[in-house]
């Protein structure tokens, strides 16, 4: 089953055609927030069933995805969609405002809702994070326009979670593979027909990449590989120097 993930609560224009093309084969569309534009809602519902949640408190929608893997002791993965503007503070029922980008607060929501994968919408930047034992996923939307608009495709194949993020209008995509058993993750950064692959488990943080090509490799930013800044040949030359083999590339 393939899930489409999108956040466009306050979008007051039509959806770009690219969204419909990417979502063409999805089985379910997840919107971590309340859709306020009925035209967009109708457009998405023509593609697949749409699940949305409210922008307040911890209104959420939870479902189970069956894992089809003989190596897994777990039959189902629990997936929850929430806007994520507040989080539970301590052991009380008090709620506090989430600080954007604070994964420890988002993790508290996932723990409070007892879920494996939390899809939240209170962010202006897309990310897929493995935080402790939880997977935290958010698309992005800039209320001022479509400049930072991204959507996602999520699939679970056997015990592999695959999340592909598309930056709308930029021909840039990022793919993250997480093994739900070992938690090993591999990320792919693509631009046109060139892809950089990063295996986080192999990385020894030697720093050869960012020292030799700091315009492309930016460990403090997300996504940390800016694949469209330099030519594939320049990037390949630096990747070939990676001492651990954590970085590799492929041409589609």
Q: What is the distance, to the nearest Å, from the Cα of residue 223 to the centroid of all Cα atoms in its chain? A: 11
User: What does each C-alpha distance from 145 to 13, 150, 168, 184, 189 come to in angstroms?
Assistant: 9, 12, 12, 35, 24
**CA dihedral (70, 162, 139, 103) positive or negative:** positive
Neighbours of 128 (CB within 10 A): 26
pLDDT at 237 (0 to 100): 96
Least confident of 10-14, 73-77, 131-135, 237-241: 73-77
Give the separation between CA 225 and CA 43, rounded to whole angstroms: 33
**Is the domain 2-180 a CATH 3.60.21.10 member?**
yes
pLDDT tens digits, residue range 177-202?
988 877 788 999 999 999 999 998 89
Q: Mean pLDDT, to the nearest integer, of 33-54? A: 92
Q: Which fold has domain 184-252?
A: Alpha-Beta Plaits (3.30.70)
Give the separation between CA 87 and CA 95, rounded to whole angstroms: 5
Q: How confident is the model at residue 94 (pLDDT cuts 50, 70, 90)?
A: confident
Q: What angle do CA 131, 26, 144 make, to 5 degrees?
A: 65
Instruction: Locate the domains of the chain by residue range.
Output: 2-180, 184-252
Query: Which of the two residues, 181 and 238, has the higher pLDDT score?
Result: 238
pLDDT at 147 (0 to 100): 63
Whether the pTM exceeds 0.85: the reply is: no
């Amino acid at each position: 089953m393939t899930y489409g993930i999108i956040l466009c609560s306050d979008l007051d224009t039509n959806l770009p055609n690219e969204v419909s093309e990417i979502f063409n084969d999805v089985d379910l569309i997840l919107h971590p927030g309340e859709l306020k534009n009925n035209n967009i809602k109708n457009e998405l519902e023509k593609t697949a069933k749409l699940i949305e949640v409210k922008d307040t408190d911890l209104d959420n929608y939870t479902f189970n995805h069956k894992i089809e893997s003989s190596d897994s002791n777990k039959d189902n993965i629990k997936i929850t969609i929430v806007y994520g503007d507040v989080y539970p503070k301590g052991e009380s029922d008090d709620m506090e405002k989430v600080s954007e980008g604070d994964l420890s607060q988002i993790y508290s929501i996932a723990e409070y809702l007892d879920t494996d994968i939390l899809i939240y919408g209170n962010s202006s930047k897309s990310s897929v994070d493995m935080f402790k034992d939880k997977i935290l996923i958010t698309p992005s939307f800039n209320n001022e326009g479509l400049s930072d608009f991204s959507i996602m495709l999520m699939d679970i194949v056997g015990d592999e979670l695959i999340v592909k993020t598309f930056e709308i209008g930029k021909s840039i995509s990022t793919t993250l593979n997480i093994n739900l058993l070992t938690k090993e993750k591999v990320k792919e950064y693509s631009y046109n027909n060139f892809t950089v692959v990063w295996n986080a488990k192999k990385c020894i943080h030697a720093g050869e990449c960012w020292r030799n090509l700091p315009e492309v490799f930016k460990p403090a930013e997300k996504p940390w590989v800016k694949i469209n800044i330099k030519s594939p040949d320049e990037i390949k030359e630096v990747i070939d120097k990676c001492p651990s083999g954590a970085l590799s590339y492929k041409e589609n």
